[in-house]
Structure 1
Amino acid sequence: MSLQEKIVAVVKFKDEISYYRSKRADWILDLNKLRQAYIDAGYSMPELDDSDRFGIHSIADNNFELFLQKMEPKKIQKDTLSLLLAKKFPSAHSWWDVGEIFPTIFVDFDRKVVGAFYYEGTKMEVYIPNEWKGEFIDFSNDYPEEVFPKSEKFWIKGDSDLLQILNERGRSK
């Protein structure tokens, strides 16, 4: 999974949940740390410049609202994701068949917490600003209702949790 691959991100800001579909690199909140990790591993890395994520290399209190403004065109409506899932769900044998629809990262700007859940790729929960907390967690299922309400999860319709059903389908194979 490359940094250019598109993922779905959940963002919580001012107690409101939004979804975005954009490059994985957009959600590495501290690009400086990622760059330094490559350098420490012996790779030659170019300096970051203004072409790298709108010139916002590390998300901080003084720039995260600007970051969200710049990301606005990459916002995707919860209903759009719901419709995509509805189209693919009947023929999906497991989560693996529709995984690109589900969020990979939950960025909570209110609590300064990043939760990430993925099967491969750059550890988005590691390359975060110093004052943030990062965790590898199944936030779709494990975050409490007050953090990620069921009403904001496009895969839950009434009493039906389509993610749970997909996971059960996968286990039964």
Structure 2
Amino acid sequence: MYTTSIHTPVGFAVISGNEDGITSVRCSDDPVPESPFVPTILHRCARQLEEYFENRRRSFNLPLHPHGTPFQRAVWQMLAEVPYGKTMSYMELTRRLGDEKAIRAVAAANGKNPIWIIIPCHRIIGSNGDLTGYAGGLGRKKWLLEHEQIANGQLSLF
């Protein structure tokens, strides 16, 4: 596994993977040591994330290989379908997956998302519109949502 990182407006994006694709993108307050060799795909991911933060990218074109259970991967696939600049509630996400009783499991899978921003777990909010749980911290979640709203020509969600 190889690692690189880039500085973003909300901290460092730490990108991990191999020649076959991206296995994780996580946020960090501190830089991490870069692997002596960094595959091209990690550089491509870094460039696409930079474009996202510069408001020049709304979707990503990368091979993703997150590690998780089949249920987690189903939730992450559904997260990837939430459009840029839009939000969805945990309950709506759960309904789309077909079982309202699974809301806690869906929320837990959302929290285990290993590919920050690219699999947009930040776009999932409470049914009442509140920002709830975010592994990167609610400040980062708010920043990301506002970033996407402003890029869409809206002043702010909050």
TM-score normalised according to structure 2 size = 0.30
Structure label with greater radius of gyration? 1
Higher relative contact order (CA 8 A, sep 6+): 1
